[in-house]
Amino acid sequence: MPSDSFKALVLRRPFETIEAAIETLTDDNLPEGDVLVRVHYSDMGYKDGLAITGAGHRQIVESFPFVPGVDFVGIVEESNSDSFKPGDKVIATGWGIGERHWGGYAEKARVKAEWLVPVPTGMTMRQAMTHGSAGLSAMLCINALERYGVAAGSDILVTGATGGVGSVAVMLLHRLGYRVFGATSRAEEEPYLRALGADEIVLAKDIGDIPAQPLLPERWAGAIDNVGGATLANVLASTAYGGAVAALGLVGGTNVQTTVLPFIKRGVALLGVDSEKCPNKTRIAAWKRLAEVIPDGLPASVIEEIGLDALPARAAAIIRGQIRGRTLVAV
Ligand SMILES: NC(=O)c1ccc[n+]([C@@H]2O[C@H](COP(=O)([O-])OP(=O)(O)OC[C@H]3O[C@@H](n4cnc5c(N)ncnc54)[C@H](OP(=O)(O)O)[C@@H]3O)[C@@H](O)[C@H]2O)c1
């Protein structure tokens, strides 16, 4: 076996459906890039589930063979960039990694230097991947709400609260002094959400399974929405005068039928949040704030650690909405 060989989860599409298997590759198989990283951890978010299963309204991966994994953290082995040197600990999230460019479900990854940010001071590599794109996005949502004027002490709703983004968002908001409403389809997860800091539990069906309303009673000053669809419409309709909703997810659908009334009668703002192409300056600041607000890392109740071989089954489960919290992948 060549000395530069390593293991990876490789997607192939011999016929209509995607097949995923662990294969042995060498450095020559890796795509172009100026930094070679020895991957220590990756994670699994909803988009990784779509990539591995091929589910969803659009095909996430279009070119095969392909190594998925939107996020990874590891140590630089080789670098042709002045920004990083061997031994540096780096995080990769977004920029098409795991969608158009080979990702983190491999012991090695080669990417562009501008897609990497340093692991923030005080954060371990394991902690960085327990947050992953989910934690980064939750932080970006809170930053967006605060830029709009939503302030600590106010009521904030988090939809899809037991999911990866949702769990980190609940914990961050609680630590920052907000009163947190966790909306979940799983009433039995109330103890989990309360332990993370949720003050009130809202049943997802009471928001998402009612016909979209133009205006509903004002219930929260802000919201972080992972769900989209009718849920987002009703979250907007329930947001108090002058509040804002940070929208980042689509697990409940991409079509949102709403009216202008929340915007023109209550001055509510809809803030779009994207972690994939968000500028490095913004993401480095968000990673730093994550390290400051959760210096001790996420609690064990949020994290399930798996290996590369368990990814296909986990992908199917995340698409079915059966995963709680964050999936850490020990590469
Ligand atoms: N814009 C960005 O930059 C960005 C970054 C990261 C993620 N995202 C998106 O954010 C969303 C959440 O990501 P994630 O990684 O946290 O996913 P996740 O771990 O699968 O969590 C999603 C949660 O939403 C709820 N849910 C699942 N299926 C649902 C359905 N059909 N209808 C309503 N609720 C449903 C479930 O929570 P309950 O059981 O508690 O209801 C589930 O745990 C995804 O759409 C993802 O693509 C966007």
Other beta carbons within 10 angstroms of residue 150's beta carbon come to 25
What confidence score (pLDDT) does residue 134 get? 98
What confidence category does residue 3 fall into, taking pLDDT thresholds of 50, 70 and 90? confident
Tokens of 248: 């980042």
Looking at the CA of residue 159, tell me the nearest atom of ligand 1: 41
Cα(28) to centroid(ligand 1), Å: 36
| 250 CA from centroid of ligand 1 (Å) | 7
Probe target for ligand 1 pocket from 44, 57, 130, 165, with the most ligand atoms within 8 Å of CB: 165
Bridge partners of 41, per DSSP, are 73, 330
pLDDT for 2:
82
At 296, is the pLDDT very low, low, confident or very high (cuts 50, 70, 90)? Answer: very high
pLDDT on residue 1: 73
Kindly tell me the burial class for residue 140, based on how many C-beta atoms sit within 10 Å of its own C-beta (0-12, 13-18, 19 or more).
Answer: buried
Residue 214: cis peptide before it, omega within 30 degrees of 0: no
pLDDT of amino acid 290:
98
- Looking from the CA of 305 toward its CB, the CA atoms found within 13 Å total 11
Give residue 30 CA to ligand 1 midpoint distance, Å: 30
Would the pLDDT of 109 be above 90? yes
pLDDT attached to residue 16: 86
Question: Where does residue 248 fall: left (phi above 0), alpha (psi -120 to 50 degrees), or beta otherwise?
Answer: alpha
Nearest ligand 1 atom, CA 327: 19
**pLDDT digits over 223-244, tens only?**
999 999 999 999 999 999 999 9
Question: Tell me, what's the pLDDT at 58?
Answer: 77
The arithmetic mean of pLDDT across residues 298-314, rounded, is 98
Ligand 1, atom 43: closest residue by C-alpha: 163
In percent, how much of the chain has pLDDT > 90?
A: 96
Sequence-ordered list of residues with C-beta below 8 angstroms from that of 46, at least 6 positions apart, any chain = 163, 164, 249, 251, 318, 319
pLDDT of residue 119: 98
pLDDT value for 97: 98
The per-residue pLDDT for range 132-171, each reduced to its tens digit, is 999 999 999 999 999 999 999 999 999 999 999 999 999 9
Question: What are the backbone dihedrals phi and psi of residue 327, each rounded to the nearest 5 degrees, phi first?
Answer: -105, 115
Q: Is 284 exposed, middle or buried (0-12, 13-18, 19+ CB in 10 A)?
A: middle
β-strands 326-330, 303-306 pairing: parallel
For residue 189, the ligand 1 atom closest to its alpha carbon is 40
Question: What tokens were used for 273?
Answer: 């949040």
Residues of the chain with CATH 3.40.50.720: 133-272
The structure tokens 């709680």 sit at 324
Nearest CA to ligand 1 atom 2: 274
Is ligand 1 within 6 A of the CB of residue 184?
Answer: yes
CB within 8 A of 123, min separation 6: which ones?
287, 290, 291
Q: Does the C-beta of 44 come closer than 6 Å to ligand 1?
A: no
Among 143, 38, 92, 41, which Cα is nearest to 280's?
92
226 lines ligand 1 (CB under 6 A): yes
Residue type, 229: G
Burial of 290 (0-12, 13-18, 19+ CB in 10 A): buried
Compute the distance between CA of residue 322 and CA of residue 320 in angstroms, rounded to an integer. Answer: 5
Answer whether 327 contacts ligand 1 (Cβ < 6 A). no
Mention the CATH class of domain 133-272: alpha beta
**Long-range contacts (CB closer than 8 Å, 24 or more residues apart) made by 178-182:** 178/152, 178/153, 178/154, 179/153, 179/154, 179/155, 180/156, 181/155, 181/156, 181/157, 181/219, 181/220, 182/157, 182/158
Which structure tokens are listed for 45? 């978010």
Q: Are 133 and 275 in contact (CB under 8 A)?
A: yes
Residue nearest to atom 18 of ligand 1 (CA): 163
Residue 10 has pLDDT above 90, yes or no: yes
Which of these CATH numbers, 2.70.50.30, 3.40.50.700, 3.90.180.10, 3.40.30.10, describes 5-119+299-330? 3.90.180.10
DSSP 115: G
pLDDT value at residue 96: 97
Strand partners, 184: 203
Nearest atom, ligand 1, residue 319 CA: 20
- The tokens of 60 are what? 């996430």
Distance in Å, CA 47 to ligand 1 centroid: 9
Question: pLDDT > 70: what percent of the chain?
Answer: 100
**Whole-number pLDDT of residue 19:** 95
Q: Answer whether 46 contacts ligand 1 (Cβ < 6 A).
A: yes
For strand 179-184 and strand 155-158, is the pairing parallel, antiparallel, or unpaired?
parallel
What is the pLDDT averaged over residues 19-41? 97
Q: Do the Cβ atoms of 221 and 236 come closer than 8 Å?
A: no
pLDDT at 38 over 90: yes
pLDDT in tens, 192-234: 999 999 999 999 999 999 988 899 999 999 999 999 999 999 9
Question: Which residues fall within 8 angstroms of residue 213, CB to CB, at 6 or more apart?
Answer: 233, 234, 237
| pLDDT value of residue 155 | 98
CA 175 to chain centre: 19
Pocket-testing residue among 53, 196, 251, ligand 1, by greatest number of atoms within 8 A of Cβ: 251
Q: What is the pLDDT of residues 49-97, one digit of tens each?
A: 999 999 987 789 999 999 999 999 999 999 999 999 999 999 999 999 9
Strands 35-44 and 71-79, bridge-based pairing? antiparallel
* Delimiting residues of CATH 3.90.180.10 domain(s) in the chain: 5-119+299-330
CA distance 287 to 5: 32
Q: CA-CA distance, 19 to 312, in Å (whole number)? A: 9
The rounded distance, in Å, linking the Cα atoms of 259 and 184 is 25
